[in-house]
Amino acid sequence: MRRAHPETSMRAADRLTDAHASALAARRPGGALLAGSLLLLAACSAGGSGGNGQTHSHDTPSIPAAAGLPQMVVPADNPFTEAKFVLGRALFYDTRLSGNGTQSCASCHEQARAFTDGRPLAIGSTGETHPRNAQPLANAAFHATLTWANPNLVTLERQMEVPMFGEGPVEMGITDANKAEVLARLAADAHYATLFADAFGAEPIGFGNIIKAIASFERGLTSADSRYDRQLRGDAVLTDAEKRGMQLFMSEKAECFHCHGSFNFNDQIRYVGQPGVETPFHNTGLYNLGGTGAFPFPNRGLFEFTAKATDMGAFRAASLRNVALTAPYMHDGSIATLEEVLDFYAAGGRNVTSGPNAGDGRRNPYKSDLIVNISLNAQDKADLVAFLRTLTDNTLVTSERFAKPAWLP
The CA distance from 207 to 394, in Å, is 32
∠ CA 210-263-16 to the nearest 5 degrees? 165
Q: Which stretch of DSSP H or E encloses residue 243?
A: helix 240-249
**Which pLDDT value is given to residue 6?**
31
Predicted local distance difference test score (pLDDT) of residue 39: 41
Q: How far apart are CA 14 and CA 52, in angstroms?
A: 34
Provide the whole-model pTM. Answer: 0.87
pLDDT for the residue numbered 68: 83
- For residue 61, the model assigns a pLDDT of 54
3-state secondary structure of 239: coil
Predicted pLDDT of residue 62: 62
DSSP 359: E
Burial of 5 (C-beta count, 10 Å sphere; 0-12/13-18/19+): exposed
- pLDDT for 63 equals 79
Close Cβ partners of 2 (under 8 Å, ≥ 6 residues apart) = 43
Torsion 300-304-305-310 (CA) sign: positive
Low-confidence ranges of the chain (pLDDT < 70): 1-62, 65
pLDDT of residue 139: 97
Return all residues near 298 (Cβ < 8 A) that are at least 6 apart: 131, 304
Using CA atoms, how far apart are residues 11 and 246, in angstroms rounded to an integer?
A: 11
